[in-house]
Amino acid sequence: MDNREERHRDYDQLARDVNLEDITSSQHNREVLRQLRDNDPELKSLIIESEEAEVGFEEDSWDLSAFVVKDGTDDIGWLGYFVGKSEVLQSLCIQYLPDGSIKEFIGWVNSNRSIQELSIEYDLGDTIFNDLIPMRIKNNILNRIEITGVNIGRERARRLALVLNQQCDQKAPLWLQLKRNNLDAEGLRELATLLTTKLGHLCIAENQIGMNGGEVLGAVIRSKAFSQLTGLDIGRNNIGNEGVQVLAAELSKCTNIKNLNLSGNRAITAVGLGVISGLLGAENCRIESIDLSNMHIGDDGAEVLAAGLVGNQFLMELIFGFGRGYVNDEYVSAGITDSGWSAFSKLLCDTSSVNNNYVSNHTLTNISNNFLGHEQPPAIAQNYLELNRCAIDGVNVAMIKILTHHPDLEMEPFFKWNLKCLPLAIRWFDMVRESLEELLEVREEQEVNPFPIHVNMAIEKLTTEELGSMECSAMYKFVRAMPMLVLNGFRGKERGSRKRKTRDR
């Protein structure tokens, strides 16, 4: 029997009678251990942090899922034992471990069979790549790995790729986050070249990919391991226009990327934004959210981005302003004035003609960053964004925008087809009624009116009576413009009826 098995046996014998007060430094930590020991379903995630993280905070304000380590007082062996035995713990975040306890703690963690998400925010050395992640991967349990603040050079990137490839029965693509690890372009190339495990999300934000990392990013997109990638976060990597150009060329060929984060790459200028605009207008582009926060966009950039979104039916969120998830970072203004915002207002609803209104963007539901309230679009653009959100409920917002701004529809362009378009026009108004009924049902189902004032105004304006008047006006224009067609059509039917009667005689 090896030492590990002996320790396991000793802990098993003592576990029932151990006094939690003797092995912890605080009531808070005792409660965490009790939840782990009793498989309390309320404790699904656990954070291990040092007491320095809670300096200035009273114990009763500590995170309920945090175990706050005081060296020499808290027994990390018992913490590891209860983590290893837990059947309900799903997420483990390691922000600190005493140096002398790392190997023993990881040994206990590797016996756990319930942890699905592992976050490492403390440099545990090569133990991360040699012991912790390999065992978790072999057990085919992990679906999310986050490594933050650990230096990952070329050799560690190679080791990580080989370790991840050991997952033999992958049930779903892996979420991989490698944030603030000094990962450079060569380390990323090593990872992209060797990795075969399928990834669903890759975050390499706040690293050192650099101005010339475009070629490597292109290799990432082309790699088979990234064929199921839906999210790519390459924020704050000092990527410039050339890097964006290579990246956009590859992204324009794939349909799997839904979320793209380029935030904080301040070397991207209006030229690079033009490339991004072309990407958003590409036929295969399926990006639903793009983050351009912590970057100077300017009016020129806003106008070129708006131009790329004409006809786009997939992008729902475009983020500017102060970014999410960055600490100790100077706020960078997007630099968009009324001139730039007017381009987005026109994108969302071009009222210059019915046709331009129809081909406006009816998909985009959020522009800028609502998280901190900086640099919001003007009220008119916000109104159209709110109306676009109604499309999620199956409402045809294009029709509502058209009738709101063009109540007296011009029918003359359809006259060249004579009366063939008349049934289509009638059907069009029927579809508007269906959309209005959908909006009214949504509003009536909610105790509180879910729509902003301008949406309610559109609903009230397009009442059944007024919509009927609009329809009658459109039909009248057909009849007034083509009276002889209507009359001849009637006479033709009458003559045909007479001929049939003559034959019958």
| pLDDT tens-digit readout, 342-363 | 999 999 999 998 889 888 999 9
Which pLDDT value is given to residue 393? 60
The answer to whether 164 touches 137, Cβ cutoff 8 Å, is: yes
Strand ranges across the sheet with 117-120: 66-69, 45-50, 91-94, 117-120, 144-148, 174-179, 199-203, 231-233, 259-261, 289-291, 317-319, 366-367
Q: Does residue 452 or residue 307 have the better pLDDT?
A: 307
Q: Does residue 41 or residue 417 have the better pLDDT?
A: 41
313, two tokens: 């039916």
Percent of the chain with pLDDT over 70: 83
| Arithmetic mean of pLDDT, 226-243 | 93
Which helix (H) or strand (E) segment holds residue 224: the answer is none
Query: In terms of C-beta density within 10 A (0-12 exposed, 13-18 middle, 19 or more buried), how is residue 162 classed?
Result: middle
Task: Report how far residue 221's alpha carbon sits from residue 201's, in angstroms, rounded to the nearest whole number.
Answer: 12
Q: Name, in order, each residue with C-beta under 8 angstroms of 484's C-beta and a sequence gap of 6 or more.
A: none
Return the number of other C-beta atoms located less than 10 Å from residue 443's C-beta.
15
Main-chain dihedrals φ then ψ at residue 177, nearest 5 degrees? -120, 120
pLDDT band (50, 70, 90) for residue 370: very low
Q: Does residue 217 or residue 262 have the better pLDDT?
A: 262
Q: Does residue 378 or residue 448 have the better pLDDT?
A: 378
pLDDT band (50, 70, 90) for residue 21: confident
| Arithmetic mean of pLDDT, 237-261 | 92
The answer to whether 103 touches 125, Cβ cutoff 8 Å, is: no
For the cut 70, the answer to whether the pLDDT of residue 210 exceeds it is yes
pLDDT band (50, 70, 90) for residue 6: low
Q: Does residue 76 or residue 436 have the better pLDDT?
A: 76
Task: Give whichever of 15-24, 48-57, 433-442, 475-484 has the largest mean pLDDT.
Answer: 15-24
Q: Model-level pTM?
A: 0.84
| Arithmetic mean of pLDDT, 142-152 | 93
pLDDT band (50, 70, 90) for residue 24: confident
Task: Report how far residue 235's alpha carbon sits from residue 111's, in angstroms, rounded to the nearest whole number.
Answer: 35
Which pLDDT value is given to residue 80? 93
The answer to whether 213 touches 245, Cβ cutoff 8 Å, is: no
The answer to whether 457 touches 390, Cβ cutoff 8 Å, is: no
115-126 burial: b if 16+ Cβ within 10 Å, else e: bebbbbbbebee
| Arithmetic mean of pLDDT, 104-123 | 91
484, two tokens: 């002889």
Percent of the chain with pLDDT over 90: 41
| Arithmetic mean of pLDDT, 218-247 | 91
* Mean pLDDT, rounded, of the chain: 83
| Arithmetic mean of pLDDT, 56-78 | 77
Of 42, 483, 363, which is closest to residue 32 (Cα–Cα)?
A: 42
Which pLDDT value is given to residue 217? 87
| Arithmetic mean of pLDDT, 490-498 | 49
Which pLDDT value is given to residue 327? 46
The answer to whether 153 touches 187, Cβ cutoff 8 Å, is: yes
Which pLDDT value is given to residue 440? 74
Which pLDDT value is given to residue 503? 54
Which pLDDT value is given to residue 458? 67
Rg of the Cα trace of the chain? 31
User: pLDDT tens for residues 311-337?
Assistant: 899 999 999 876 554 544 566 778 898
Task: Report how far residue 49's alpha carbon sits from residue 122's, in angstroms, rounded to the nearest whole number.
Answer: 9
For the cut 80, the answer to whether the pLDDT of residue 64 exceeds it is no
163, two tokens: 């370790």
Which pLDDT value is given to residue 490? 46
For the cut 90, the answer to whether the pLDDT of residue 59 exceeds it is no
The answer to whether 176 touches 140, Cβ cutoff 8 Å, is: no
497, two tokens: 């009826």
Q: Does residue 394 or residue 130 have the better pLDDT?
A: 130
For the cut 70, the answer to whether the pLDDT of residue 132 exceeds it is yes
For the cut 90, the answer to whether the pLDDT of residue 486 exceeds it is no
